[in-house]
Amino acid sequence: MQNLYDLSSSELESALAGLVSPPFRIRQIEEWLHVRGVASFDEMSNLPKELRASLAGNFTLAFPENIEVTTPAPDGSRKYLFKLADGNRIEAVYMPMGERTSVCLSSQAGCAVGCTFCVTGFFGAGRNLTPAEMLGQLFTIRREHSIPSEMLNVVFMGMGEPLLNFDHLVTTLDIMSKTIAPKRITVSTSGIIPGIDALAKLEHRPNLAVSINAPDRKRREEIMPITSKYPLDELIASLKRYPVEKGREITAEYVLLAGYNDSHDDAVALARLLRGVKAKVNAIPFNPDPNLPAWMKRPQDAAIDRFVNTLVKNGVRVTVRRSKGNEIAAACGQLRGKTEPPPRRRRA
Ligand code: SAH
Ligand code: SF4
């Protein structure tokens, strides 16, 4: 049966047209789905009982099943583990940030990009998530914490590469944009250039974050093998032509690895690389994990400060990501969707 949460607005209207009349009923159903995010037809209390029964006989509204929620970390963040209908597991993170709340969503049940510093990459490829599976993460967390949509930020920084799941991502963004302003939604990519160019053509664009992570091609290729397919200079060119809305900036994410890409010279080189790109840097001190290479370490605070100060001196705006959820292994790059021990060890 067709899951109505997998359909864009126009697809939903066509799917319902034969079954639902008059037309205002379709708008009511759309509101229950896209604004309220209900998990069952029974909750659609302003629809006649017979209509609810006939909808339930023809369609489903299934979300992924939330099978575990971690106890909150000291900063209040919690990790949500979901089981998909085919048994795959994915994770999302709830992060209270004062007035606002951020929710970090997964876009794939794994990741084929294989960055060497990333736990999701370590566990390997997984299939694309459907719109219902992406929306379900958000709606489940939103409901559990009674978060009004206007207080939400959504970031696609969980498991997977969102721009390799482009069509489902666009449907999901369209539906989310009904309740959350696109400037409150961020899509993070490892630098899939055709995906960035396709995102540029959308009428309502989310914020773009790009994982740069190294100041030159050689090192980027070492830790992000995708660089050999989408070279760093071409990636930077795609960011220069990207239409950035007034008042917004691209976020250049940069995972800081002690002694590898965190020196004064690296900061100078990064500033030079980003010249001409309307971007700020988000420095992310590396989050260690037993599955990742042992040489990868989080820099000392003094090294992080030096790196940040050098960027600032070179005219780059920069923020440092406080690793939300680190204590419960829910920080970025630590989502795996797996509970069993790893299948293999990669590097010592
Ligand atoms: N696939 C997308 C989005 C998910 S990864 C992307 O790569 O952008 C989200 C962010 O987490 C990326 O910026 C990535 O560089 C970062 N990240 C991955 N592993 C990490 C780790 N172990 N420590 C810190 N940041 C990490
Ligand atoms: Fe995939 Fe992003 Fe992890 Fe790289 S950092 S392996 S692209 S999830």
- 157 CA distance to ligand 2 centroid (A)? 9
- What's the confidence (pLDDT) of residue 333? 57
Classify residue 66 by its DSSP letter: E
Give the chain's residues under pLDDT 50: 341-342, 345-348
Give pLDDT, residue 347.
46
**Ligand 2 mutation pick, 120, 123, 169, 229, max ligand atoms within 8 A of CB:** 120
What are the DSSP E strand ranges found in the chain?
A: 2-3, 59-60, 65-69, 78-83, 89-97, 100-104, 152-156, 185-189, 207-211, 250-256, 279-285, 318-320
> Given ligand 1 and candidates 156, 223, 253, which is best to mutate, with the most ligand atoms within 8 Å of its CB?
253
Task: Report CA(209)–ligand 1 centroid distance (Å).
Answer: 11
Reported as a single tens digit per residue, the pLDDT across 255-289 is 999 999 999 999 999 999 999 999 999 999 999 99
What gap in Å lies between CA 248 and CA 207, rounded to an integer?
A: 8
Residues 288-311 pLDDT 10s? 999 999 999 999 999 999 999 999
Chain length of the chain: 348
Structural domains in the chain plus CATH codes: 2-60 (1.10.150.530), 65-328 (3.20.20.70)
What per-residue confidence (pLDDT) applies to 340? 52
Residue 114 CB less than 6 A away from ligand 2: yes
Virtual CA dihedral for 328, 331, 333, 335, nearest 10 degrees? 50
pLDDT for residue 295: 98
Task: For residue 332, indicate whether it is catalytic.
Answer: yes
pTM of the full predicted structure?
0.94
